[in-house]
Amino acid sequence: MVTELRKTNKSLYETDYNLWVLEMVEKLKKQEFSGLDLANLIEEVEDLSRRDKHKLESLLNHIFEHLLLIVYWQIELIRNQEHWEREVLNFRLQLFQLLEDSPSLRNYVSNYLVEGYKKGRKLAAKHSQLPLTTFPEEPIANLDQILDEDWLP
């Protein structure tokens, strides 16, 4: 397959990403550095950090969304409180795992807190169909509270 790709001037990276990854891993294991697709390999390694940051952002957005639903969507609270609290815990556990794997991202979480709240606020308004003004403009929790798996507003 690799020989066929070379004839068409398409790289393995463009046509079969998984096979490209397996080939790069094999070359790294064998220390065949001259055969590495360095440009794409560098791009993929850089993208690993971006992926973690995007996941962290999404988790924080959803934590705030569900905390806001717990506090402000009173008409649905009795029916959904346990579900929302489970969601908050689930998102927190994923966040904890991400921070355990990459402790340097804790500063990123701290810097993203206000933006995460704004996005969580929009998500809560859309989810509940309540006006955005129902939810405070300022975050309802600080980072320590967000990271405290037992804290709920």
Sign of CA dihedral 83, 86, 88, 91: negative
Within this chain, do residues 55 and 20 fall inside the same structural domain, yes or no? no
In a domain, 152, yes or no: no
Within this chain, do residues 68 and 133 fall inside the same structural domain, yes or no? yes
Within this chain, do residues 30 and 67 fall inside the same structural domain, yes or no? no
Within this chain, do residues 60 and 134 fall inside the same structural domain, yes or no? yes
Within this chain, do residues 135 and 69 fall inside the same structural domain, yes or no? yes
Rg (Cα) of the chain, in Å, rounded?
Answer: 22
Instruction: Note down the domain range covering 114.
Output: 50-147
Residue 2 confidence (pLDDT): 54
Within this chain, do residues 119 and 54 fall inside the same structural domain, yes or no? yes
Within this chain, do residues 58 and 115 fall inside the same structural domain, yes or no? yes
Report the number of distinct structural domains present in the chain.
Answer: 2
Residue 10 confidence (pLDDT): 73
Within this chain, do residues 65 and 104 fall inside the same structural domain, yes or no? yes
Q: pTM of the full predicted structure?
A: 0.82
Q: Where are the alpha helices (DSSP H) in the chain?
A: 2-7, 12-15, 17-29, 38-72, 74-101, 105-128, 143-147
Residue 53 confidence (pLDDT): 96
Within this chain, do residues 60 and 26 fall inside the same structural domain, yes or no? no
In a domain, 32, yes or no: yes
Within this chain, do residues 143 and 86 fall inside the same structural domain, yes or no? yes
Residue 75 confidence (pLDDT): 95
In a domain, 80, yes or no: yes
In a domain, 75, yes or no: yes
Q: How far is CA 110 from the centre of its chain?
A: 15
**What end-to-end distance do the CA atoms of the chain give, in Å?**
57
Which residue positions in the chain have pLDDT lower than 70? 1-9
In a domain, 96, yes or no: yes
Within this chain, do residues 32 and 85 fall inside the same structural domain, yes or no? no
Tokens matching residue 140: 């309802």
Within this chain, do residues 20 and 68 fall inside the same structural domain, yes or no? no
